[in-house]
Amino acid sequence: MNCPICQSTTRVINSRTADQEKAIKRRRLCIHCNRRFTTYERMELAGLEVSKRNGSKEPYLRHKLELGVRKALEKRPYTEQQFQKLISGIENDIFDLGKDTVLSEQIGQAVLSHLRDFDKVAYLRFASVYRKFGSPKAFEREIQKLEHLKNSK
C-alpha cells in the first residue's frame, strides 16, 4: 500500500479485527514522510448482482449503498464508526440471503429495517424515496406505523 500523501511505500504497524470480525483494521506508517493512516480490509460481496425494478441487472457496489444511506442521514448526528457499522449490518443481511442475484427491493428493505432502529428521520427520508411517497398523507401513514412499532415494543 502506498502513502496517500507522498505515494511512498508504507508498512503495517498494527492490525486487528474490526466491525464484528468482518473487517481488518490496519494502522500504517509511511517510510518516507512518517505519516500514519488507517486502512480497512473487508469482505467484498464479489459476484453479487442486483436485479433492478426495471428488470436490468448490475453488479453490487458498496459505495452505491453508502451514497443512498448517507443521503438519508444528511445533517443527522452520527459518527463514521456508527455509519460503517450500519452499512456492514445491511451488507450482512444481504450476504445472509445466500443468493448470487438479489432484488433491489430486498436491499431497500434491509436498509429500511436498519434505519428504523438507527435514525427515524433518516428512515422516513429513505422510505419517501424508496416507496415513492406522492403526498403528505403517505408520510403521515409511515409516521403512524413507526409510532405503532414504538408503542408495541
Q: Which three cell numbers stand for residue 138?
A: 403517505
The three-state (H, E, C) secondary structure of 93-117, written as one string: HHHHCCCCEEEHHHHHHHHHHHHHH
Q: Is the pLDDT of residue 75 over 90?
A: yes
Calpha distance 65→22 (Å, rounded) = 17
* 128 shares its domain with 63: yes
* 59 shares its domain with 134: yes
Say how many domains are in the chain. 2
Query: Strands 101-103 and 49-51, how do they pair?
Result: parallel
Q: Which three cell numbers stand for residue 29?
A: 506508517
* 19 shares its domain with 65: no
- State residue 136's pLDDT score: 86
- State residue 111's pLDDT score: 96
- Which of the 8 DSSP states describes residue 135? S
Give the number of other Cβ atoms within 10 Å of residue 127's Cβ.
Answer: 22
- State residue 9's pLDDT score: 92
Across the range 117-146, mean pLDDT stands at: 87
pLDDT in tens, 7-39: 899 999 999 887 667 678 899 999 999 999 988
CB 24 within 8 A of CB 17: yes
* 54 shares its domain with 36: no
Across the range 110-127, mean pLDDT stands at: 92
* 89 shares its domain with 34: no
* 146 shares its domain with 79: yes
* 36 shares its domain with 100: no
* 32 shares its domain with 89: no
* 21 shares its domain with 95: no
Range of the domain at 30: 1-42
Give the residue, 6 or 41, on which the prediction is more confident.
Answer: 6
Picking from 26, 18, 3, 19, the residue whose alpha carbon sits closest to that of residue 86 is 19
Residue 144 binned pLDDT confidence (cut-offs 50, 70, 90): confident
* 50 shares its domain with 30: no
* 79 shares its domain with 122: yes
* 31 shares its domain with 58: no
**pTM for this structure?**
0.68
